[in-house]
Structure 1
Amino acid sequence: MSESSIRLAVDIGGTFTDLVLHLGDRFVSTKVLTTHDAPERGVLEGTRQVLDQAGVVPSDLDLVVHGTTLATNALIERKGARTALVTTRGFRDSLEIAYEHRFEQYDIYMERPEPLVARPLRFEVPERIAADGTVLMPLDEAAVEALADRLVSEGVQAVAICFLHSYQNDAHEQRAREIIARRIPPSVIAVSSEVCPEIREYERASTTVANAYVLPVMESYLRRLEQGFKDLGSTAPLLLIMSSGGITTVDTARRFPIRLVESGPAGGAVMALTVAAQNGIDKALSFDMGGTTAKITLIDSLRPQQSRHFEIARAARFVKGSGIPVRIPVIDMVEIGAGGGSIARTDQLGRITVGPDSAGSMPGPAAYGRGGTLPTVTDADLLLGWLDPKGFAGGHIDLLPDASRKAVDETISARIGLDREHSAYGVTELVTETMASAARVHAVENGKDMAGRTMIAFGGAAPLHAARLAQKIGVSRVLIPVGAGVGSAHGFLQAPISYEVVRTRVISLRDYAPDAVAELFEAMRAEAEGVVRIGAPSAELHEERIAYMRYRGQGHEVRVPVPSAAFGRGGATALRLAFEKVYQALYGRTIPRLDVEAVSWTLSLAERRQLPDREDPPAAQPAPTAQGRRALLDPCTGTAVEAQVYARDLLSPGAAVPGPAVITEAETSTLVPSGFVAALNRAGHIVIERTA
C-alpha cells in the first residue's frame, strides 16, 4: 500500500469509537461514543465526521483497518448464537470437566463460568481416532444425519464439531461437517481441526465452541459494516486486526472470529512497539487506559510478549483458570476493569472500590449528562481539576461538573464521611494502585522486572494517570506518543498483514528427523501464504518458526524460536540448545540428562515492516509560554496546586515543561505532577522524567 494512499483506522472500544485517517503526510482523528446496540452506526457516523474534517469523500478511501470488541463482548455478556457441540461419544462433558481442578482451592463459594453450550445441546456421535491419527472406529454417518435433523428442530444457530485427536486426522470432522451442512449453513459450522489443530482436548473444544458462538454475530456485523461503507460511497478493502497484532482479510475474520477477541488492545501494543523503536527503548511497558479497561504489555528488545493461551470472562479477577480458555495467537497482556468509565462505590466496610464494571457510553459517567448517576474515574478526574469540562473528547462532549459533584457526594462522601476532594482523590489513587498491582503481577508471571523500563502511555485516560502509576511501580520515564488519545487506531495503520498456522506433532529429540520437520513447515508456509497474499499480493514476507517444547513428563511447554541449524545435520543438538537457552532464562536452570520433546509447531508469516530509526534528542529550547493556569490536586503529593496549562501543538521540541502542569490536545490531556519534567522530542512525543 502506497504511503500516499488514504487509509482509515477504526477502533471500537467499550466507551468510545476512535477513528484515525492517514492522508500520507498528516493524520486526522476523532472520537465518537460507541453505539452498542448497532456498533456499525457509530463507525459510520465517525467516518463521516473524520472525512469531513479532512476534506475528502468516501470514494477517496484506499483502505479501512478495523478492530472491534464485538466478539469479546458477545462472549462476556453471553449474547452469542444458540450453539451446539458435536463430539466423540463419551466426551460431551469435557467442557464442564475442564482441567479437573479448582482455580480457588479453599473458596467454598467458588463458581466456575457456565459453559457456552448447555448440556442438552452437547451431542455425541460414534467415532474414534487414535493419538497417532489411525482410525479406531469409523464415523457413524447415519448418526450424524439423524443429528443434523435434530439440530434444526432444536433451533441451533451455530455448530462446533470437535472429535478426539482430530488435530492428527481431520477426516471425520470434515465428513461430519459435509453432512450437517445439508441442513445447517456451512458458514456457521466450526471444526476444531481448522480453528485450533492442537493437542489438549478441553482447550481445543473450548476454542472451537467460542468461535462458533460468535460466528453469526460477527458475520452479521461485518456484512452490515461492509454494506454501510458501500452506502457511504466507499469501495475500499476492509481488513481486520487480530489478537496477534497482525491484520487479516474479512473472509478469514468471518471464519475465525475468535482470533479478533483482543484486536483493539493488540493495535495499541503495535503502536507502542513502533514508538519504542523510534526512541531507542529496549525495555518498555505499554500502558493503554481507555474508557472501560486498562491494558498493560511488556516489550523487550522490540518484541512484545507473545502467547498462545488466553482466557475470556474470568469469574475471578487475575485468577488463572477461572475463565473460558481459548488457544489463539495473542499479544500477552493483562487487561483489567480500570478505565475512565469504571464505577466507584463504597463497600460495607466503608472502603472505596472502583470497577471492574463500567458506565460505558450509555449512560456513561455522571459528567456526560446521559443519565448516569454513579461516580466514575472520569468524574473524579474532573473534580480534581485534571480535565477541562469544555475540551473533553475533542470538544464533542461538554462535561457537567455539578453532576460529578452530586454523584461523588451521594455515593462516596455522604457514606464514609470524607470530603468531596479527598473522595475523588481516593478514587484515582485506588484505580492507579489496581493498575500498579496488575503490572507487578504480570511482570513476575513473565519472569520480568520493572527496573529500567520506559512507560509508553496512550488511550484517552492514560496520560492523566501515567506519571502517578510510574511513581508507584518504580518507573522513572514516561512517554506520551503523538495521537495518544487514539493510540490503538494509530497502531492499526502500522500493523502488518499476517497469519499464523499451528500443528501438533509430538517429536522427541532422540527421534528427531530434520527433513520431516522441514516438510511440516513447508506445508504450514503454504497455508499461511494463501491467506497473507490475499491482502499483500506482492509484499516481501517475514517468516518466524516456533517450537513449543518441554522436558519429557512436564505438563506445559515453553516457546522456542527454531534456529536454521535445526534443519541440517546436528539439528537435534541445535534445537536442544535453543530450548535450554529459553528454559534457563525463564527458570534459572536446566535439567541435565532428561529427554526433550517438541509438542506443537507454529509458523507466522507477515508483511515485512521496517521499524523507524531512532531519533536523535533535540537541542534544549527556551521555556515555553503557558496558555493559562488551572487549580488542581497534584496526584503525587496529594496537595492543591496552581498548574500551568500548555497546548501540545504549540510546544517546541526540547522546551522543558516542569510540573505541576497540564498539556492539552484534542483527544486527551497529559498531567505532569510535581517532581516531573516534560519535553517534546524530535518525533513530537512527550517525554516525562522524574526529577525527584
Structure 2
Amino acid sequence: MQFITADTGGTFTDVTVYDTEAGHIRFGKTLTTYGDLVDGVVAGIGEAKGTAAEAAWLRHGTTHVINAFLQRRGARVALVATRGFRDVLEIGRGNRPVPFDTKRRRQPPLVPRALRFEVTERIGSDGTVIEALAEQEIEALAAALKAAEVEAVAVALLNAYANPAHEQRVAALLTARLPGVYVTAATALSREWFEYERSSTAAANAYVGPAIARYVEGFSTRLAREGFAGSFAMMGSNGGIMPFEASVGRPVSLVESGPIGGVIAASEYARSLGLERVVAFDMGGTTAKCALVEKGEFDVQQTYWVGGYEQGFPIRSPVLDIVEVGAGGGSIAWVDAQGRLRVGPESAGSEPGPACFGRGGVEPTVTDANLALGRIGHGSFLGGQLRLDRDAALRAIGERVGEPLGYGRDAAATTRVARGVLDLATTLMAGAIKEITVARGHDVRDFALLVFGGGGPIFGAELARQLGIRTVVVPPQPGNFSAVGMLLAQARIDLARTLVADLSAEGMAALAEVHRELESEARQAAAREFGSEPATFAWQADMRYRGQRHTVTVGFDGAPSAETLRAAFEAAYAKRFGRVLGQDFSPEVVGLRVTAQGDAPRPALSALAVLPAPADRAPRHQTRRLHVRSRGFVDAPVWRRADLPVGFAIAGPAVVEEYSSTLLIGAGDTAVVGALGEITISIGQDREASS
C-alpha cells in the first residue's frame, strides 16, 4: 500500500510516495506543467516509482488559489447583501495602514459595484429577526444575476453570523434558480462578526470557486483514469487535510495550501531534535516563505490579507502565520528606470524558466547567478536530469544587468553582478525573517534556522550570518519537504463563533453553551468529512478588556472557570503589552474557537533519512570552482549527501549535493550529519567569510 503527496509550486512539482510495507519513502521532482498541472503530478509519481492504483490516499497542495487572487484571474462574481449594505465590500475599514502616503489606493474589490445587489431583510446583532426576508424579491434578483452573466454569487447578509437563516435561504433559492452558477454563503465560511471581513471572504470564495471546482474535480477524474481508487484530499491552509469535496465548497481554505506542508514537517523535526524556537524557512522557485515554530507548534492566524495588509483584502479563515517575499530561484534580476538593481517579484517559473534551463528563457534569475558562481553544478541539478547552461547564464547576467548598470559583460564584471544579485536576494529574504521575528518582539538570535525548499539550503548559512543566528538545520530531502509535511499532516477542522460574554456566572453559562455547540459541530464535521471521531480538541478564546477594540487569544483546556480564563488572559495580555490593567477592569470573551484533529497513521522521521551503510573508508568528494566572497574562486569540495554517514563533519567552504537541493557551507562554518539524517551547520564568527 502507498501514501502519495504532491505539492505543485510555481516552478517545480514535488511528489513523495510512502511504501507502508517497505517502510521507506521515495521522491519525485518535475517541472510544473502549466498546460495541465496534473501532468506534472503524474510524471512525479512515476519518477518516484509510485503507482496510483496502489495508493490508499493522495494529498495535494497547490498555489492555484493564491495565484488566482494575485493575478486577478477569477470568476465574474456578484455579491448579494442586505439592503443598504452592498458597499460594505468597498468601504472596508477606515484605518490608514500607510498614514503618510497620500497617494495610497487599495486594490479594487473583487466585485464591482454594478454586480453588487441587495435584498430586503434584517437580522439584529442578537440574532432576532427585525425584518423578514422578502422572498418575493428573489425571482427578480435571479433574473438580474442571469442577465449579468455571472459565474458565481456570494451571499453575505448583515448579522448573519448570529442567525444564518436568511442567508442560507437566499443561497438555497439562488442555487435552485441559477443552475451552473457557483453560490456561496458567508456563514458557511465564518460564523464571526466583522461584516467587512465576512463579506470579503464570501466574495473571495465565489471568485475562485468555479475554477477550483473544475481543477479539483478534473484532478480527481484524471487520477481515476490512472487507476486511483483511494481517498483524495487537499492540504488546507490551517495545517490540516480536507476532503476534495469540502475544498470545492471552501476554496479560500486553500489560499496557502502549498507552503503549509513544509512548516508541518519543520514542527515535527523541531520536536524530535529538541529545538525550542525555530524559524522555518522555505525557498522555492518563485517565492521564499518563513514561519515561526515554538515548542513544536506553529501559529495560525484568523485573518489573512491577500496582497498584504496595506493594499490587499482580508479572508477570515484560519491560515498558517507566514511571511512571504517574491525571492525564489526563478526570481528575475532586472534594472529599474532609476538604474537600480532589483530582484523579483516576477519569476521565470518553469516555462520558460531561468536562462540556464535552455528552454527559451533570456532573463537572468537567482538560479543563473548561483550557477555563475559555482554554487550549483551544471551537470548535477536534479540528479543530472536537467543539465544547466552556464554560458547562457553568464550571457543573460551580462546583457540584461551588467551592461545596463555600467559594469560591462566581461568575466570579472559578470561575477560581481552575480554576487550583487545574490546579496540583494539574501537581503530581501532576511527582511522577511525579521518581519516575523524582530517586528513581533522576538530576538532572532534566539532561534535556529531550519531551511528547506530547493533554494533554502544554499542560502541558509548566509541568512544566518546576516541575522546573527548561530545554528542552521537542513533536514533530509529539503527540496521535497513540503510534500513530506503532507505525509505527516492530520485531518483538522477549525470552527469559531462570536459571543460577547463577561466572566460573571451568566457570562460563563453562555460560554459553556457555545462550547458545547462547537464541540458537537466539530464532531459532526469530522464524521461527515473524515468518517471518524477527532482525537484531540484544542480551545481558544478571543478576549479583551471591556471597551477595547483589539483582542488577545487565550488557550485553555476543557471547560474553564472564570478564574482560569482571567489568569490566562492577563498572562497573554502582559506578554503582548507589558502590563495588565488590574482588578478594576473587566475582561470579556468576544469569540470562541476550537481545533479538532484526527490521528491518522504516518511515517516515522527516520524513514526520510537516506544514510549509507557502514563502510571501511571515508566518503570521497569531487571539487568545483566556487566563488567565496573574501577569496574569489577557489577549489571547494563537493560531497554527495547520500554518502555521508551519521557524525560526519565538514568544514566550509564546501558544497553538499542531493537530488532535490544543494547545500552551501560557508567559509568558517562547520557541518555535522545527525541521527535523523539532518545536517546541522554551526555558523563561524567571521561575518565577511561567507560564501
TM-score normalised by L of structure 2: 0.94
Structure 2 equivalent of residue 677 of structure 1: 670
Mapping of 1:573-588 within 5 angstroms? Answer: 573-588=563-578
Do residues 151 (structure 1) and 140 (structure 2) align?
no
> CA–CA distance in 1 between the matches of 2:40 and 2:519?
38
Do residues 498 (structure 1) and 492 (structure 2) align?
yes
**RMSD of equivalent CA atoms:** 2.1
Mapping of 1:387-398 within 5 angstroms? Answer: 387-398=376-387
> CA–CA distance in 2 between the matches of 1:524 and 1:259?
19
Do residues 12 (structure 1) and 1 (structure 2) align?
no
Larger mean Cα displacement after TM superposition, 517-526 or 415-424: 517-526
Mapping of 1:280-295 within 5 angstroms? Answer: 280-295=274-289
Structure 1 equivalent of residue 371 of structure 2: 382
Cα distance, 1:623 vs structure 2: 9.7
Query: Which one of 306, 331, 337 corresponds to residue 326 of structure 2?
Result: 337
Cα distance, 1:564 vs structure 2: 3.7
Which amino acid in structure 1 is aligned with residue 47 of structure 2? Q
Q: Give deviations 1:325-374, integer Å, cap 9, x for gaps.
A: 11111110101101001111123443211111111111211111222111
Larger mean Cα displacement after TM superposition, 556-565 or 395-404: 556-565
Structure 1 equivalent of residue 410 of structure 2: none
Contact 1:642 1:660 in 2 (8 A): no
Q: Give deviations 1:536-564, integer Å, cap 9, x for gaps.
A: 54566110011111112222211111344
Query: Which one of 297, 304, 316 corresponds to residue 327 of structure 1?
Result: 316
Cα distance, 1:240 vs structure 2: 0.9
Contact 2:625 2:633 in 1 (8 A): yes
Structure 2 equivalent of residue 272 of structure 1: 266
Do residues 627 (structure 1) and 621 (structure 2) align?
yes
Do residues 654 (structure 1) and 647 (structure 2) align?
yes
Which amino acid in structure 2 is aligned with residue 605 of structure 1? A
Structure 1 equivalent of residue 450 of structure 2: 456
Which amino acid in structure 1 is aligned with residue 663 of structure 2? T
Structure 2 equivalent of residue 21 of structure 1: 17
Do residues 411 (structure 1) and 400 (structure 2) align?
yes
5+ residue gaps, structure 1: 315-319
Give me the identity figure in percent: 37
Mapping of 1:74-223 within 5 angstroms? Answer: 74-185=68-179, 188-223=182-217
Structure 2 equivalent of residue 31 of structure 1: 29
SS in 2 for 1:501: strand
SS in 1 for 2:359: coil
Cα distance, 1:136 vs structure 2: 1.2
Q: Give deviations 1:369-393, integer Å, cap 9, x for gaps.
A: 2221111101101101011112213
Do residues 665 (structure 1) and 658 (structure 2) align?
yes
Structure 1 equivalent of residue 247 of structure 2: 253
SS in 2 for 1:9: strand
Do residues 68 (structure 1) and 78 (structure 2) align?
no
Q: Give deviations 1:18-37, integer Å, cap 9, x for gaps.
A: 11111132111111111224
SS in 1 for 2:259: helix
> CA–CA distance in 1 between the matches of 2:305 and 2:88?
17
Cα distance, 1:302 vs structure 2: 1.1
Cα distance, 1:603 vs structure 2: 0.8
Contact 1:66 1:240 in 2 (8 A): yes
Contact 2:488 2:603 in 1 (8 A): no
> CA–CA distance in 1 between the matches of 2:645 and 2:130?
73
Aligned residues: 671
SS in 1 for 2:329: coil
Cα distance, 1:685 vs structure 2: 0.7
Q: Give deviations 1:596-638, integer Å, cap 9, x for gaps.
A: 11111111100147999999xx9x9999443211111125x46
SS in 1 for 2:437: helix
Contact 1:116 1:209 in 2 (8 A): yes
Cα distance, 1:44 vs structure 2: 2.3
> CA–CA distance in 2 between the matches of 1:343 and 1:78?
21
Cα distance, 1:534 vs structure 2: 4.7
> CA–CA distance in 1 between the matches of 2:7 and 2:77?
28
> CA–CA distance in 2 between the matches of 1:680 and 1:332?
30
SS in 1 for 2:419: helix
Contact 1:499 1:528 in 2 (8 A): yes
SS in 2 for 1:145: helix
> CA–CA distance in 2 between the matches of 1:144 and 1:511?
44
Contact 1:249 1:534 in 2 (8 A): no
Distance 1:154 1:663, change over 3 A: same
Contact 2:512 2:559 in 1 (8 A): no
Do residues 477 (structure 1) and 477 (structure 2) align?
no
Structure 2 equivalent of residue 599 of structure 1: 590
SS in 1 for 2:656: strand
Which amino acid in structure 1 is aligned with residue 552 of structure 2? V
Which amino acid in structure 2 is aligned with residue 579 of structure 1? F
Structure 2 equivalent of residue 432 of structure 1: 426
Do residues 302 (structure 1) and 296 (structure 2) align?
yes
Which amino acid in structure 1 is aligned with residue 160 of structure 2? S
Do residues 544 (structure 1) and 544 (structure 2) align?
no
Structure 1 equivalent of residue 688 of structure 2: none
Distance 1:288 1:614, change over 3 A: closer
Contact 1:274 1:612 in 2 (8 A): no
Query: Which one of 514, 521, 529 corresponds to residue 520 of structure 1?
Result: 514
Structure 2 equivalent of residue 42 of structure 1: 40
> CA–CA distance in 2 between the matches of 1:407 and 1:491?
36
Distance 1:37 1:98, change over 3 A: farther
Larger mean Cα displacement after TM superposition, 643-652 or 350-359: 350-359
Which amino acid in structure 1 is aligned with residue 110 of structure 2? L
Cα distance, 1:264 vs structure 2: 1.3
Distance 1:622 1:672, change over 3 A: farther
SS in 2 for 1:155: coil
5+ residue gaps, structure 2: 408-412, 686-691
Contact 1:31 1:394 in 2 (8 A): no
Larger mean Cα displacement after TM superposition, 114-123 or 504-513: 504-513
SS in 2 for 1:451: helix
Cα distance, 1:304 vs structure 2: 0.9
> CA–CA distance in 1 between the matches of 2:100 and 2:205?
32
Q: Give deviations 1:76-128, integer Å, cap 9, x for gaps.
A: 11111111000011111111111123332222332211111111000011111
SS in 2 for 1:308: strand
Contact 1:277 1:614 in 2 (8 A): no
Contact 1:563 1:578 in 2 (8 A): no
SS in 2 for 1:105: coil
Cα distance, 1:531 vs structure 2: 2.9
Which amino acid in structure 2 is aligned with residue 20 of structure 1? T
Structure 1 equivalent of residue 483 of structure 2: 489
Which amino acid in structure 1 is aligned with residue 572 of structure 2? V
Contact 1:278 1:612 in 2 (8 A): no
Larger mean Cα displacement after TM superposition, 449-458 or 557-566: 557-566
Which amino acid in structure 1 is aligned with residue 286 of structure 2? T
Contact 1:44 1:228 in 2 (8 A): no
> CA–CA distance in 2 between the matches of 1:662 and 1:39?
33
Structure 1 equivalent of residue 555 of structure 2: 561
Larger mean Cα displacement after TM superposition, 330-339 or 108-117: 108-117
Contact 2:627 2:634 in 1 (8 A): yes
Larger mean Cα displacement after TM superposition, 104-113 or 213-222: 104-113
Contact 2:59 2:234 in 1 (8 A): yes
Query: Which one of 441, 444, 460 corresponds to residue 466 of structure 1?
Result: 460
SS in 2 for 1:63: strand
Structure 2 equivalent of residue 317 of structure 1: none
